[in-house]
Amino acid sequence: MKNLLISLIVSAGLMSVANAGDAEAGKALSANCAACHGADGNSPSPAFPKIAGQGERYLIKQITEIRDGARQAPAMQPFVMNLSDEDIANLSAYFASQTATAGGAKEELVELGAQIFRAGIEEKGIPACLACHAADGLGVNLAGSHR
């Protein structure tokens, strides 16, 4: 049992290293992303998500799924279709290393958003955000989840 536990811990550590990208190499690749997501991942437009500060593994998962057709994002497909796994890891490392800027929420909707985060929307069957994302909003490790 002890050997199994040690093997699992070592394997988990190796998987994390395998996903680790090079942020500097990612910065060099990020020019195409900047038009929509901003040079540092802080989109200037509410039409495009801010990706600065997102988790590296989350970004790898999303970009890979778009590239491979598992997630439909027609506007992004042309930009990611020729990226290698290494390119995706590097871009993800770069954007994950950036600091997200605050703002973007309409002041009159902040309290409603907080209420939905805490309690969901029962009549629509929408669970509370904190159920998955935890009270701090950072969430639990979803690597490998099939959502």
For 98-137, the pLDDT digits (tens) are: 999 987 678 899 899 999 999 999 999 999 988 888 887 7
Confidence of residue 141 (pLDDT cuts 50, 70, 90): low
Confidence of residue 66 (pLDDT cuts 50, 70, 90): very high
pLDDT of residue 41: 96
Cβ neighbours, 10 Å, residue 90: 23
Confidence of residue 147 (pLDDT cuts 50, 70, 90): very low
H helical segments located in 20-75: 23-29, 31-37, 56-68
Q: In terms of Cα–Cα distance, which of 81, 95, 94, 90 is closest to 49?
A: 95
Q: Which residues contact 27 (CB under 8 A, 6 or more apart)?
A: 94
Domains belonging to the chain, first-starting first, are 20-102 (1.10.760.10), 105-141 (1.10.760.10)
Count the helix, strand and coil residues of the chain and give each as a percent rounded to the nearest 5: 55, 0, 45
Distances (CA, A) of 64 to 59, 80, 95: 8, 8, 15
Q: Which position has the token pair 């992303």?
A: 33
pLDDT average, residue stretch 70-86: 96
| pLDDT exceeds cutoff 80 at 48 | yes
Q: Average pLDDT of the chain?
A: 85
* Percent of the chain residues topping a pLDDT of 70: 79
CA angle at 48 for the pair 45 and 53, rounded to the nearest 5°: 100
